[in-house]
Amino acid sequence: MRLIIGNKNYSSWSLRPWILLKHARIKFEEVRIPLFTNEGERMLDELCPAKQVPVLYDDRLVLWDSLAICEYIADKYPAKKLWPVDAVDRARARAMSAEMHSSFQALRNNMPMNCRREVKDFEPDLETEIDIDRIVQLFEQALLDSKGPWLFGHYTVADAMFAPVASRFKTYGVKAPHVTQRYFDKVLNDASMKQWYEEASHENEIIERAEIN
Ligand SMILES: N[C@@H](CCC(=O)N[C@@H](CS)C(=O)NCC(=O)O)C(=O)O
């Protein structure tokens, strides 16, 4: 299996399937594309059907979307239980993952993932506040129901889909209520996340549009 990803510092969509594979201890080869460079454009043309990352190659399958990749990994390795076992929890985890995939545009635009940065005195606008509040509401509900430590007890696709959110709250110094903050601390101190951060810290490309003030 080969996963094509973008810059670790910036590419939140790449982090999702990457961290799911790491958590599931599934071996894969990784190819990094430096986005918004000439070399990156050439690699996107060659490797990515939708000219975006992530893309998963597995035998004759070429899969070009982060959530579809996570779904495929969960299907291919049922013993890893990458969705909750309980049907009601599984439905909720799918709804949360789908909401992450399709919503939170203000948060994405105004709080782009940037693992290397700590932005001081960030003041979210109203739309971003609404996204932040909705995310906290989702986390508090899932964590109070499951009792943690992950959103649905054990690690699932939902945790992978929301991993970049923990990074964003940290970068922009957004405060979260206790239960959510404890979850973010777990996400950020997780060995796979630390590896991602470590590798991001060695990258030297700057993507201007992702550098807020
Ligand atoms: N819906 C896609 C979104 C992927 C996406 O937006 N990827 C960004 C990087 S995080 C990208 O490839 N940008 C490069 C470009 O648009 O040229 C997914 O979930 O996989």
Query: pLDDT at residue 213 above 90?
Result: no
Q: Assess contact for 115 and 196: CB atoms under 8 A.
A: yes
The amino acid present at 101, given as its one-letter code, is H
Mean pLDDT across the chain: 97
Detail the DSSP E strand segments found in the chain.
Answer: 2-5, 29-32, 55-58, 61-63
Q: Assess contact for 169 and 184: CB atoms under 8 A.
A: yes
From 5, 53, 168, the mutation candidate for ligand 1 (largest count of ligand atoms within 8 A of CB) is 53
- Give yes or no for residue 12 CB within 6 A of ligand 1: yes
- Give yes or no for residue 65 CB within 6 A of ligand 1: yes
From 13, 157, 161, the mutation candidate for ligand 1 (largest count of ligand atoms within 8 A of CB) is 13
At 14 the pLDDT is: 98
How many Å lie between the centroid of ligand 1 and the Cα of residue 72?
18
- Give yes or no for residue 89 CB within 6 A of ligand 1: no
How many Å lie between the centroid of ligand 1 and the Cα of residue 85?
30
- pLDDT, tens digit (0-9, with 9 covering 90-100), for 31-72: 999 999 999 999 999 999 999 999 999 999 999 999 999 999
Other CB atoms within 10 Å distance of the CB of residue 166 = 23
Separation of alpha carbons 76 and 71, rounded Å? 9
- The pLDDT-based confidence of 106 (bands split at 50, 70, 90) is very high
Separation of alpha carbons 56 and 54, rounded Å? 7
Q: Assess contact for 44 and 33: CB atoms under 8 A.
A: yes
Q: Take residue 10 and report the two structure tokens written for it.
A: 């910036």
Asked if residue 149 has a cis previous peptide bond (ω within 30° of 0), the answer is: yes
At 212 the pLDDT is: 87
How many Å lie between the centroid of ligand 1 and the Cα of residue 66?
9
- Give yes or no for residue 200 CB within 6 A of ligand 1: no
CATH class of 87-195: mainly alpha
Q: What architecture does CATH give domain 2-80?
A: 3-Layer(aba) Sandwich (3.40)
CA-nearest of 33, 58, 61, 29 to 46 is: 33
pTM: 0.97
Separation of alpha carbons 64 and 163, rounded Å? 19
DSSP label of 8:
T
- pLDDT, tens digit (0-9, with 9 covering 90-100), for 130-184: 999 999 999 999 999 999 999 999 999 999 999 999 999 999 999 999 999 999 9
Instruction: Enumerate the domain spans of the chain.
Output: 2-80, 87-195
